[in-house]
Amino acid sequence: MSFLAPMAFAFAAAIPVVILFYLLKRKRVVKLVSSTLLWQKFLAESQASAPFQKLRHNWLLVLQLLLLILVILALARPFFAGEIKGGRLLVAILDASASMQSTDEVPSRFEKARREALALVDNLTDTDQMVVLLAGGNTEVKQSPTGNKAALRRALQAAVPSDSPTRLTEALKLAQPLVRDRVGGEIHLFSDGAVSGLEEFEFEGLNVVFHRVGQRAENAGIVTLDVRSNPEDPTRRALFTSVFNASSNIVRTEVELLLDGQLVEARPVEIPPRETLPEVFFAGQTNDGVFTVRLASPDDLAADNEASIVSLLPQPARVLLVSRGNRFLERALAAVPSAEVTVVTDLADSAADFDITVLDDVLPAAWPSNNVLAIRSAPTNWVEITGRAEAPAIVDWRTTHPLLRFVTFDNVQISEALTVVPPGWATPIVEAPGGPLILAGEIGRQRVVWLAFDTLQSTWPLRVSFPIFIANVLDWLNPVTARAAQFLVQAGAPLRLPLDGTVTNAVVRLPNGEERRLTLDPAVRELVFGETGRRGVYQIELGNRRFTFCANLLDAPETDTTPRSEVRFGKYAAVAAAEARPANVEIWRWIALAGLAILMFEWWFYHKRTA
């Protein structure tokens, strides 16, 4: 047995006082009350001249001492805890993602989760230890294993939520080896359950306790944002955005577009429940700037009500097409207004003067160093070709990738394609049963789009999606677009900025106005800044150069703030939300009931004798 409030035993000093009253001989006034029945024997005795008398056996004294002891024990809050030999190790994972800032709990989900984690600390036994992990944009170890409750409380009090998506895989992988082979090891997850990306996590029977927070999903948020040249008027910019309504009610609000803080347009919208509403804005722009889209109506989560993007003025892309003859590809390239296309049959040294090189089923002696669209052609260090597939069927394509915006592969047949092992540098965006058909990614600082098939050996050039895809490719490979893309990061993800070795200091101004001064090693060729947990516009000073980049949430699963009743791991495993259960069994209530029973017994005995 242990006690939560052992200082209550100080009241035991009242026991000698009670006994002292029974040693004193004092003249008493007779008052007939329920408690005087047991005093009558003493009242019948003659008053002695001495102030003290010999202590005699008396039931009233016994009852009063017993009642006082029970009161002291109840105040000390004794409890029984099932202790495991050697103590338990508990890993507390506190979800610090954006959805935990929802205000459906008072004052927020994160604060409620913190209170529950602090209650878990209070219930630790003397032999228990706990680890505190904060799962925000990245997993942070707030406290290594310790049984010091004060240190654990400080670690939890120092935790703050971020505007980043939920990323629990890293935290679970860190906690897994700590508790896997330890008797009594537990992982306590404090979250709203709005978790994605755990499909590949091997659960392996871990003892996970899911403490769910959250009451409702009254939220709408911006989930996509992109800016491009207006295809009908290249002098204007087209801004694409979409708003997701996670609630079960219709949301009526205004979507506002701002350029460098100045309102450009406000548009009333009505979003049906559980649906996404796309919107397109057109605006003039004379200088590089920052577009911001925001929702005018407040809701439970403010982190997704605003998003910003850096908009650089478009510049024509110089495109070199190396082909033996492909009229469909030439026309698709020429149809892009921002492309200046040059067609050759062999790759020459002049390729360095172009922004983009398109290799149409040719294998050059030396590969270009600029951004490349390679059609059925690749060096051995890009992909590992394992064979050929006859008439591969297209089974899936990644519609969320910028290259496949407004692109569909319905009714597209391919005669033959190369089969390759998916490389680590690329993302498969179109796939067949035998492997990827289109890859996109970066090798160093070079952007590459690779096709495993010859477009002339397919029906794709006859579909409207082909010129749309070529336009998307040129926009994605355009160095100006690539440079603008690096200035848009998801909250919690690091900014990566190439350096030339001449700058040794940098200043980063955060959205709240705070500054971070960085000392750079001249030998390092890249600036990596990871303190991007807050949504907003950041400013960077590198010598005489000034850069602006934006961090946004832009995550539909995070905007869907519906509290989950379980967290799924892999394909089959799931952990349901834990019901409220006491970690330790306190018995002070039973002690207090015993004291009340003694008082009732005295009352009953008195009335029984006087009836």
SS3 string, 219-280, reads CEEEEEEEEEECCCCCCEEEEEEEEEECCCCCEEEEEEEEECCEEEEEEEEEECCCCEEEEE
Is pLDDT at 286 greater than 60 in this prediction? yes
* Longest alpha-carbon distance in the chain: 131
Is pLDDT at 327 greater than 90 in this prediction? yes
Q: DSSP string covering 325-365, please?
A: --HHHHHHHHT-TTEEEEEESS--GGGGG-SEEEEES---S
Strand partners, 139: 135
| Helix, coil or strand: residue 560 | coil
Mean pLDDT, residues 28-35 taken together: 57
Same fold, 89-215+563-583 and 317-477: yes
Is pLDDT at 69 greater than 80 in this prediction? yes
Dist. CA 131–CA 111, nearest whole Å? 19
Strand partners, 441: 426, 448
Q: Under a CB-based contact definition with an 8 Å cutoff, are residues 371 and 446 in contact?
A: yes
Architecture of domain 89-215+563-583: 3-Layer(aba) Sandwich (3.40)
Strand partners, 420: 385
| Rounded (5°) CA angle 349-450-446 | 55
Helix (H) or strand (E) holding 455: none
Strand partners, 569: 573
Instruction: State both tokens at 508.
Output: 């980063």
The sign one gets for the Cα dihedral 310, 312, 313, 316 is: negative
Please name the amino acid found at residue 205: G
**Backbone phi, then psi, for 529, in 5-degree steps?**
-120, 120
Please name the amino acid found at residue 98: A
What's the pLDDT at 538?
96
User: What ranges in 447-531 are assigned the alpha helix state H?
Assistant: 465-477, 479-485
Regarding the domain delimited by 485-552, which CATH topology (the fold level of the hierarchy) does it fall under? Immunoglobulin-like (2.60.40)
Instruction: State both tokens at 363.
Output: 């294998």
Mean pLDDT, residues 561-572 taken together: 81
Beta pairing, strands 262-271 & 251-259? antiparallel
| Burial call 332-366: b when 16+ CB within 10 Å, e when fewer | bbbebebbebebeeebeeebeebbbbbbbbbebee
Count CB atoms within 10 A of the CB of residue 188: 20
Instruction: State both tokens at 88.
Output: 């338990």
Strand partners, 592: none
Count CB atoms within 10 A of the CB of residue 372: 23
Nearest partner of 389 among 420, 410, 412, judged by Cα: 420
What's the pLDDT at 426?
92
Instruction: State both tokens at 578.
Output: 């834990």
What's the pLDDT at 125?
86
Q: Residue written as tokens 């392996």?
A: 204
Is pLDDT at 464 greater than 80 in this prediction? yes
343 or 235, greater pLDDT:
343
What's the pLDDT at 587?
76
Lowest-confidence segment of 52-56, 115-119, 242-246, 275-279 by average pLDDT: 52-56
Lowest-confidence segment of 247-261, 264-278, 435-449 by average pLDDT: 435-449
Dist. CA 489–CA 383, nearest whole Å? 28
Is pLDDT at 124 greater than 80 in this prediction? yes
What's the pLDDT at 407?
92
What's the pLDDT at 28?
56
What are 511-537's pLDDT values in tens digits?
Answer: 999 999 999 888 888 889 999 999 999
Dist. CA 239–CA 261, nearest whole Å? 16
Q: Under a CB-based contact definition with an 8 Å cutoff, are residues 256 and 236 in contact?
A: no
What's the pLDDT at 46?
46
Dist. CA 592–CA 595, nearest whole Å? 5
What's the pLDDT at 571?
66
What's the pLDDT at 18?
72
Q: Under a CB-based contact definition with an 8 Å cutoff, are residues 341 and 357 in contact?
A: no
CATH number of 317-477: 3.40.50.880
Instruction: State both tokens at 209.
Output: 């306790």
What's the pLDDT at 437?
95
| Rounded (5°) CA angle 353-358-359 | 115
% of the chain beyond a pLDDT of 90: 51
Dist. CA 366–CA 395, nearest whole Å? 34
48, 218, 354, 481 from 474: Cα distances, Å: 113, 40, 12, 9
HEC sequence for 125-168 = CCCCEEEEEEECCCEEEEEEEECCHHHHHHHHHCCCCCCCCCCC
Strand partners, 342: 320
328, 430, 472 from 404: Cα distances, Å: 19, 9, 7
pTM for the full predicted model: 0.71
| Mean pLDDT, the chain, whole residue set | 85
Please name the amino acid found at residue 21: F
21's CB contacts (< 8 A; 6+ apart) are none
Q: Where are the domains of the chain?
A: 2-79+589-610, 89-215+563-583, 234-305, 317-477, 485-552
Instruction: State both tokens at 233.
Output: 């008027």
257, 352, 369 from 384: Cα distances, Å: 46, 26, 20
